[in-house]
Amino acid sequence: MKIVIEKPLDGEEEQVIVKCHNINPELLDLLNSLKAQNILLIAYASGEIHRIPPADVLYIETVDNKTFLYCAHNIYESKQKLYELEEFNLRDFMRVSKSAILNLSKVKSLVPSMSGKIEAVLVNGERVIISRFYVGALKKNLGI
């Protein structure tokens, strides 16, 4: 594979051009991660509007029809529904239950339970339950 990097002319917009014979899953992952670089999640806390980089989010959860972004030190409310945030195809994010999306890069360890569920222990010590329905997809994503 040949990689070419060119400096755009003055006034010209930066762009990425991909020439390929076949689009494979690895290429799609790469393109999605490039697109995700520019995404900021809009959320609210204490009457202020915040722009949150997805990499700062530990997990996203819906409680009582409200969507919350949980970060290391703050919790923000999003006006978007969980399925709308899921449509962003954020890198390292995965639906883990009907009411939660988890940032897999923030998982420190996984603890299996007797009921077939898995408990994810996050880097800040919080725990998120991964329902049985999503355990197979989680194992596939992590290569377990």
Average pLDDT of the chain, as a whole number: 90
Q: Is the pLDDT of residue 35 over 80?
A: no
Higher pLDDT, 59 or 15: 59
Give the per-residue pLDDT at 79.
96
Condensed to tens digits (0 to 9), the pLDDT of residues 59-100 reads: 999 999 999 999 999 999 999 999 999 888 787 899 999 999
Give the residues across from 100 on adjacent strands: 61, 97
Give the three-class secondary structure for 90: coil
Nearest-angstrom CA–CA distance, 125 and 40: 25
Q: What is the pTM of this model?
A: 0.76
Is residue 36's pLDDT more than 80? no
% pLDDT > 90, the chain: 58
**pLDDT value of residue 108:** 95
Give the tens place of pLDDT for each residue, 99-112. Answer: 999 999 999 999 99
SS3 89: coil
| Triad 92, 98, 103: Cα angle to 5° | 15
Between 64 and 2, the higher pLDDT residue:
64
Mean pLDDT of 19-40: 79
